[in-house]
């Protein structure tokens, strides 16, 4: 009888703790914008060159998440579903995060317990595999974690090309109902947004937008020259070289996929966002029920 009482109490305490943790993470998510190393990277010579190119060189801070969302909503109210909105929104996304070479480090990317306790456990399992000399079953995906949820991704303020592409795509789809493709280049990831039945390229990782689609890039020499000159102007001519057609892929959505790299979250990542709430709520009410019935075994 004593064991049953302790079990019920443990169920209630654990469920309350996990529910409280989930709620806490909504209001106080991990945000690395105050990290001095990331701030220095944001105002590095390389990043300032891009900021200057996209006319954002007078910045004094990494744009906070709340400010970014407010600016995006204001832009959409003014411009609506237009190329102008896409261009300005891409810039806003870029100035809201630290550069890849500074932020995409294990100390920032590892999934934390309060962010998603289910994925955290998978991360610890993955780390244990690696530490014991075995190949990671999940290809280090929970150590260098990417999320298609723009709220999660942008609130962190850290950056990598694939994370920026799926995060920005998710943002314009969920918030403004703009469709997209994810474009997997040979060594870079961008996206294209569907504006009035026409696709336009966007590289939120670099803050750049182009008035043509990936298919129109291949079919037009001037578009190819535009890509080359633009990336050269920000000091990243290397990225232009990734636009070769061989190996490039288009993906129409971000959603759960199993063991297939489509720059989408795998099934576990997708459903864990729901399970992390459902399980503790289930155990909470289950504990209340058992306590009320005073079941005797």
pLDDT tens digits, 191-229: 999 999 999 999 999 999 999 999 999 989 999 999 999
Q: What is the rounded CA–CA span in Å between residue 207 and residue 233?
A: 13
Of 139, 180, 120, residue with least CA distance to 266: 139
Q: Quick one: average pLDDT of 144-160?
A: 92
**Helical (H) or strand (E) element with 165:** helix 161-176
Counting residues of the chain whose pLDDT is more than 70, the rounded percentage is 93
Instruction: Indicate whether 190 pLDDT > 50.
Output: yes
Q: How far is CA 122 from CA 3, 21, 238, 244, in A?
A: 30, 18, 35, 36
CB atoms within 10 A of CB 210: 22
For the chain, the farthest-separated pair of C-alpha atoms sits apart, in whole angstroms, at 79
Instruction: Indicate whether 297 pLDDT > 70.
Output: no
Looking at residue 259, its pLDDT comes to 46
Instruction: Indicate whether 107 pLDDT > 70.
Output: yes
Counting residues of the chain whose pLDDT is more than 90, the rounded percentage is 74
Looking at residue 99, its pLDDT comes to 97
* pLDDT tens, residue by residue, 132-149: 999 877 778 888 888 888
Q: What is the rounded CA–CA span in Å between residue 133 and residue 135?
A: 7
Residue 74 tokens read as: 């204001």
* pLDDT tens, residue by residue, 24-56: 999 999 999 999 999 999 999 999 999 999 999
* pLDDT tens, residue by residue, 247-270: 788 776 555 554 444 555 556 777
Place of tokens 């020259």: 225
Looking at residue 263, its pLDDT comes to 55
Q: What is the rounded CA–CA span in Å between residue 218 and residue 222?
A: 10
For the chain, the C-alpha Rg in angstroms (whole number) is 22
């Amino acid at each position: 009888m004593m064991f049953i009482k302790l079990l019920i109490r443990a169920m209630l305490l654990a469920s309350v703790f996990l529910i409280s943790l989930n709620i806490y993470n909504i209001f106080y998510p991990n945000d690395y914008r105050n990290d001095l190393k990331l701030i220095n990277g944001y105002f590095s010579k390389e990043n300032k060159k891009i900021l200057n190119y996209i006319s954002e060189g007078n910045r004094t801070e990494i744009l906070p998440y709340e400010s970014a969302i407010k600016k995006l909503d204001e832009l959409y109210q003014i411009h609506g579903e237009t190329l102008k909105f896409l261009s300005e929104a891409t810039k806003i996304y870029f100035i809201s995060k630290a550069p890849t070479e500074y932020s995409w480090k294990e100390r920032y990317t590892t999934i934390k317990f309060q962010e998603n306790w289910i994925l955290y456990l998978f991360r610890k399992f993955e780390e244990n595999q690696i530490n014991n000399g075995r190949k990671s079953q999940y290809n280090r995906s929970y150590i260098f974690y990417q999320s298609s949820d723009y709220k999660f991704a942008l609130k962190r303020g850290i950056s990598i090309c694939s994370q920026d592409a799926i995060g920005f795509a998710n943002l314009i789809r969920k918030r403004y109902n703009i469709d997209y493709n994810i474009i997997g280049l040979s060594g870079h990831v961008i996206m294209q947004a569907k504006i009035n039945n026409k696709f336009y390229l966007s590289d939120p990782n670099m803050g750049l937008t182009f008035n043509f689609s990936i298919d129109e890039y291949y079919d037009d020499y001037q578009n190819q020259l535009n890509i080359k000159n633009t990336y050269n102007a920000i000091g990243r001519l290397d990225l232009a070289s990734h636009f070769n057609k061989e190996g490039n892929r288009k993906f129409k959505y971000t959603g759960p996929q199993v063991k297939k790299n489509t720059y989408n979250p795998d099934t576990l990542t997708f459903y864990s966002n729901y399970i992390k709430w459902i399980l503790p709520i289930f155990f909470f009410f289950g504990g209340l029920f058992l306590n009320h019935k005073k079941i005797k075994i």
